[in-house]
Amino acid sequence: NAGVTQTPKFQVLKTGQSMTLQCAQDMNHEYMSWYRQDPGMGLRLIHYSVGAGITDQGEVPNGYNVSRSTTEDFPLRLLSAAPSQTSVYFCASRPIRQGGYGYTFGSGTRLTVV
């Protein structure tokens, strides 16, 4: 099925560990992005990309790295996990052109850092 595949769904990390959240889409969308959602807060943009080889920072980029080597994949790397990074993470994609319904979201990753 076409859409955004996000893995893993759940993850527990120890403080200081690193990990990569995977995001892949098969809709040939140019725009891909990562968000975190904390209790009582809205979605906050971490990093985004408008195409392969192009990435930029969002609202809360510290502690996270991204790369976009292909149109399909946009992994999010946590360099040294901290308890403050405990959150639910969403990946989303959309076409740059106008029209359609806009964003397609992944199912989310619930990350706990202990």
**Nearest distance in Å: CB 16, another protein:** 27
Report the distance separating Cα 91 and Cα 23, nearest Å.
6
User: By C-alpha distance, which of 67, 66, 29, 68 is closest to 52?
Assistant: 68
- Residue nearer to another protein on the CB measure, 17 or 27: 27
- Residue nearer to another protein on the CB measure, 63 or 95: 95
Binding site for another protein (CB under 8 A): 31, 33, 42-45, 48, 50, 56, 58-59, 88, 90, 92, 94, 96-105, 107-108
Amino acid letter, residue 4 = V
**Nearest distance in Å: CB 27, another protein:** 12
- Residue nearer to another protein on the CB measure, 26 or 56: 56
**Nearest distance in Å: CB 82, another protein:** 23
